[in-house]
Amino acid sequence: MASAIKISDLYKAYNTKRGQKVALDHINLEVPEGSFFGLLGPNGAGKSTLINIIAGLVNKTSGSAEICGYDAEKQAKQARKLIGIVPQELVLDPFFPPYEALEYTAGFYGIPKNKRRTMEIIEAMGLKDKAHAPSRSLSGGMRRRLLIAKALVHSPKVLILDEPTAGVDVELRQQLWDYVKRLNKEHGTTILLTTHYLEEAETLCDRIAVINHGKIISNDSKANIMKVIDRKKLIVSTKSALKEVPEELEKFSANITDDGRLEINYRSLEVSVGEILQALANAKIEIRDLSTEEPDLEEIFRHLTKS
């Protein structure tokens, strides 16, 4: 599969009074075309530096960054036409209404008037009622949506979302994700997302990379990332209350909770749910209900970045 973004041996160091501070330490990363890719990391890990180099806003020290085969530095004009970037900072002209702001942005990209999608994008971002209101009158969440709208006017092949839902309420956040998912699935737009709302990354992304101290420490499919911590819990509600763990289940890590449920902790690489269910049947335990629990992305993220 071709790469929408290709980072090769990228190194960035800043000169400070105390010497050089390394922001990116010779990282390599590929974002496949058409993927919904999550880039996660704690504050100061290097996410924003990486995005700013891709966008041509920060000069690298060495290495390279490519957008759909174009070098972000040597072929900046071609590369920038292919990407739309939603930055963390809320920087907008306070006097231009959303409609005019999008029209001007479309003009900068040379989009003919008959091919502009200004009102479609404004409606998708929930800004229809504010289309002709001065941007200075918009709330913080609405300004965030306007930034996203501006990044979409030229139908970029790659959309980079840097903390896009900070300050956006739940309903509008869902509206945003519905639209972005449609871009990804129906138009093949590659999405690169950074977020501190890890439940968003877990729900949306098909691939996830984790950066820490300027290095990529994990990069895999979401399915494989979710297996980093191999620990699961099967919770069984029985028809008859249990006073002790049946002999047939002693080989598992099992215990009875205060409310009388049976909890069985296991590793999926060592034990299958089928084995546990067979043991329950052998113990003649009648099951009223059962559920499973496993580590979420937030727990896995803490595990990967704890050092």
Q: Tell me the residue range of the domain where 290 lies.
A: 232-304
One domain, residues 251 and 221: no
pLDDT of residue 176: 81
Q: Give the bridge partners for 256, in sequence order.
A: 262
User: Of 120, 115, 163, which is closest to residue 141 (Cα–Cα)?
Assistant: 163
pLDDT of residue 244: 85
User: Of 96, 85, 3, which is closest to residue 50 (Cα–Cα)?
Assistant: 85
* Lowest mean pLDDT segment, chosen from 6-15, 57-66, 141-150, 167-176: 167-176
One domain, residues 221 and 250: no
Q: Would you mind telling me the total number of residues written for the chain in this entry?
A: 307
Instruction: Please state, as a whole number, how many other Cβ atoms lie within 10 Å of the Cβ of residue 18.
Output: 6
Mean pLDDT of 10-19: 89
Q: Given 192, 225, 258, which residue is the final one in a domain? A: 225
One domain, residues 242 and 143: no
One domain, residues 177 and 238: no
One domain, residues 195 and 56: yes
**pLDDT range class, residue 39, cuts 50, 70, 90:** very high
pLDDT of residue 1: 67
One domain, residues 239 and 215: no
pLDDT of residue 158: 96
Q: What is the pLDDT of residues 40-75, one digit of tens each?
A: 999 889 999 999 999 988 999 999 999 999 999 999
One domain, residues 42 and 16: yes
Q: What is the CATH number of the domain that holds 54?
A: 3.40.50.300
**pLDDT range class, residue 3, cuts 50, 70, 90:** very high
DSSP state letter for 143: H
| pLDDT of 136 above 70 | yes
One domain, residues 161 and 257: no
Q: Which residue is listed with tokens 């690169």? A: 192
State how far the alpha carbon of 178 is from the alpha carbons of 161, 172, 185, 243, 269, in Å.
14, 10, 11, 48, 35
| pLDDT of 254 above 90 | no
Give the separation between CA 16 and CA 35, rounded to whole angstroms: 37
Q: What is the pLDDT of residues 162-202, one digit of tens each?
A: 888 776 777 778 888 888 899 999 999 999 999 888 989 99
User: Of 47, 57, 4, which is closest to residue 27 (Cα–Cα)?
Assistant: 47
One domain, residues 189 and 275: no
Q: What is the CATH number of the domain that holds 292?
A: 3.30.70.100
One domain, residues 101 and 237: no
What is the number of structural domains in the chain? 2
The predicted model scores a pTM of: 0.83
Q: Given 225, 247, 263, which residue is the final one in a domain? A: 225
One domain, residues 19 and 156: yes
| pLDDT of 216 above 70 | yes
Give the separation between CA 223 and CA 297, rounded to whole angstroms: 11
Mean pLDDT of 87-113: 87
End-to-end CA distance of the chain: 33
Give the separation between CA 260 and CA 262, rounded to whole angstroms: 7
One domain, residues 192 and 102: yes
Pick the more confident residue, 283 or 63: 63
Q: What is the pLDDT of residues 223-243, one digit of tens each?
A: 999 888 888 888 989 888 888
Percent of the chain with pLDDT over 90: 47
pLDDT of residue 95: 80
User: Of 251, 242, 254, 228, which is closest to residue 306 (Cα–Cα)?
Assistant: 228
Q: Given 225, 248, 269, which residue is the final one in a domain? A: 225
